[in-house]
Structure 1
Amino acid sequence: MWQGIRALVTGATGFIGAHLVRRLDELGAEVHAVSRRGTDRERWHQADLSDAAATAELVAKVRPEVVFHLASEVTGVREPETVAPTLAANLGAAVNLLTAVTGTGVRSVVLAGSVEEPSGGEAPGSPYAAAKAAATGYARMFHALWQVPVSVLRVAMVYGPDEPNPRRLVPYVTASLLRGESPELTSGTRLVTWVYVEDVVDAFVRAGADGRAAGHVLDIGTPEPVTIRHTADLIADIVGGPGRPVYGAVAARPLDRTQRSDIEPAARVLGWRPVTSLTAGLTKTVEWHSKRV
């Protein structure tokens, strides 16, 4: 399916994006990667997708058959000054890209949504969640009004090797424990839904393959959430050593809610289910970090 297919991947230097680019390369796709900072790699484009003209120029140049939109400003910060940056990076960029591909004959567009998006009439818990939820709404509108073959994969908490943000929970706890330190955390009672990065890549590849996901908003996660405490203790057990997590040392963020993913729609539409258990995924992640700490 993928041999010679022109695939555009935005956010290609990000966690999921980098793994997805590698997978598409392996499948034989003609991968055009996009990031804010340039590289000397072939078919690598530098563009600011919050700029509508630059986005339109990029799409016209690449003429993609499949688009994976992962470019994002990922932050859990609850401060007013994060509203404008997350609005531009997570909503403006998505709208610019959807506008640019409308009427081009693109076969499939897959947007990365988030498990943080509110449901059931809840208020968004952060500027990031609000922007992501709005982007999902616009994607549904573009599909309904102009038949853009777009789907949204609402991804849970992704973890795995090569995570570039050391402040996120899994790399922070793992690196601290490998150094013999005790990571300082909240009470650890919050329930979150984890999903291994290669399982996420599987879902994106399936969603982009034949357009069957078009018009759908699908959760990509695992069926049962676990507590932060369970996750951190599991990492500590895998690492061994003297360090143990310290709970209650950090205040919880406001409006941090339980995360849940309903993966049955993804199973029906994509034939996708996660295959990596939390223990197996964290073991692989600890092995990766142990070679670098």
Structure 2
Amino acid sequence: MGKHVVVGSGQVGNHLAGKLLARGHEVTVVTRSGSGPAGATRVAADVADQARLIEVTRGADVLYNCVNPRYHRWLTDWPPMAASFLGAAEATGAVLVILGNLYPYGPVTGPMTEDLPLASTNPKFQVRAKMWADALAAHEAGRIRVTEVRGSDYFGPGATDQSYLGDRFLVPLREGRTIQLVWPADMPHSWTYLPDVADALIVAGADERAWGRPWHVPTGEPRTFREMGERMAALLGRPAPRLMRLPWPAVQAAGLFSPMIGELRHTRYQFVAPYVLDSSAFQRTFGLAPTPLDEALKATLVA
């Protein structure tokens, strides 16, 4: 079994570390606080400290970047951390697997595939695009081996308060209360199941066919908020939930007092038009399909 270093212990990092441990691997989890699942070696470190990250990563087969700074801190937090990851991968020879996202594509028409240009004009999303461009350049120069795995909005066990299908959706659904939405209830949207993200990261780190390009996490057919809510309610034996959309001016006003809410204006395009992820390349290449929706929703509801 190999040694794997997972940096970040949030909604993806925890799933990833747990799955690696279940497969018998030696797992080190690196966070600022030293948190992580039982069975892993837990290290408290500043990820931007390249020397420290190199020290922790020595002897590792794979280094996973599962860090997720708050959106309003991307411009300041990402560049030094990204440089640290590249330095650690080059110094140790570990395969670098980056947990990416879809933001750098910007607004698109039609399903998103991995060959789309990273054309977003948003400075925060351009930071993510540059992270991948720098990593790919290092790969093509023979300095590192790298891949990036991108998913859509997450749902599933362990989803944080940043998930639109997390507690702010699930708690009122379970209690029979009206679910308040920021976005339209009936717009098709791709949702990526958290355990599928972890599985895709593991495959990408272990299979050399994945290196040197980005991949999309196996993701099911797009569903609206209403469809997801109705299916969850049916699985709970409850009537369809009531959905209420908050007025956009009210959301904008709240953004004056909350940096996170203020950031919603940058992602609004993802929810007011169909937002569809095409993951067929990964599914075809590696034979990994998304978890069936009812199975994923049942696990989400009992978490």
TM range (shorter): 0.7 to 0.9
The residue aligned with 2:203 is: 206
SS of residue matched to 1:184: strand
How do 1:129-144 and structure 2 match up within 5 A?
Answer: 129-144=125-140
Letter matched to residue 201 of structure 2: F
Quote the residue 2:89 is aligned against: 101
RMSD: 2.6
Alpha-carbon distance in structure 2 between the residues aligned to 1:72 and 1:39: 15
Query: Is contact 1:115-1:259 (8 Å) kept?
Result: no
Opposite residue 213 of structure 1, the aligned amino acid is A
**In 2, are the aligned partners of 1:142 and 1:148 still within 8 Å (CA)?**
yes
- Cα deviation per residue 1:38-85 (whole Å; 9 max; x = unaligned)? 249662111222x2xx2322222430221111011254xxxxxx2xx1
CA contact (8 A) 1:110 1:152 kept: yes
Q: Which residue of 1 aligns with 2:259?
A: none
Q: Which whole-Å CA distance do the structure 1 matches of 2:220 and 2:287 have between them?
A: 15
Equivalent residue of 1:226, what SS? coil
CA deviation map 1:224-251 (0-9, x unaligned):
3222232233233333446823232242
In the alignment of these two chains, the number of paired residues is: 270
Aligned residue among 87, 105, 111 for 2:98: 111
Contact 1:56/1:97 (8 A) holds in 2: no
Compared CA separation, residues 162 and 101, structure 1 to 2 (3 A): same
8 Å CA contact 1:91–1:134 kept in 2: the answer is: no
Residue 153 (structure 1) shift? 0.4
Tell me which amino acid in the other structure corresponds to 2:153. M
Note if 1:191 corresponds to 2:188. yes
Say which SS state the counterpart of residue 103 (structure 2) adopts: coil
Give the SS at the match of 1:148.
Answer: coil
Asked if 1:224 corresponds to 2:237, the answer is: no
Aligned residue in 2 for 1:156: 152
1:139 Cα deviation from its structure 2 partner: 1.8
- Report if aligned partners of 2:234, 2:240 keep a CA contact under 8 Å in 1: no
Tell whether 2:65 aligns with 1:69.
Answer: yes
Corresponding residue for residue 80 of structure 2:
92
Q: CA deviation at 1:116?
A: 2.7
Deviation at 1:10, TM superposition (A): 0.5
TM-score by length of 2: 0.79
**Structure 1: gaps spanning 5 or more residues:** 76-81, 289-293
Query: What is the rounded CA distance, in whole Å, between the counterparts of 2:121 and 2:177 in structure 1?
Result: 34
* Cross-structure match for 2:32: 36
The residue aligned with 1:279 is 294
Identity rate of aligned residues, in percent?
25
In 1, the alpha carbon distance for the partners of 2:89 and 2:128 equals 19
2:295 counterpart letter in structure 1: A
- Pair 245,46 (structure 1): closer, same or farther in 2 beyond 3 Å: farther
SS in 1 for 2:230: helix
Cα deviation, 1:100-124, whole Å, max 9, x if unaligned, reads 2214322x21100112331446435
Q: Runs of 5+ in structure 2 lacking a partner?
A: 106-115, 252-263
Q: Show the 5 A alignment for 1:210-289.
A: 210-222=207-219, 224-241=221-238, 244-251=241-248, 253-254=264-265, 255-257=268-270, 258-274=274-290, 276-288=291-303
Given the superposition, is the C-alpha separation of residues 219 and 138 from structure 1 closer, same or farther in structure 2, using an over 3 Å criterion? Answer: same
- Change beyond 3 A, Cα 1:62–1:100: closer
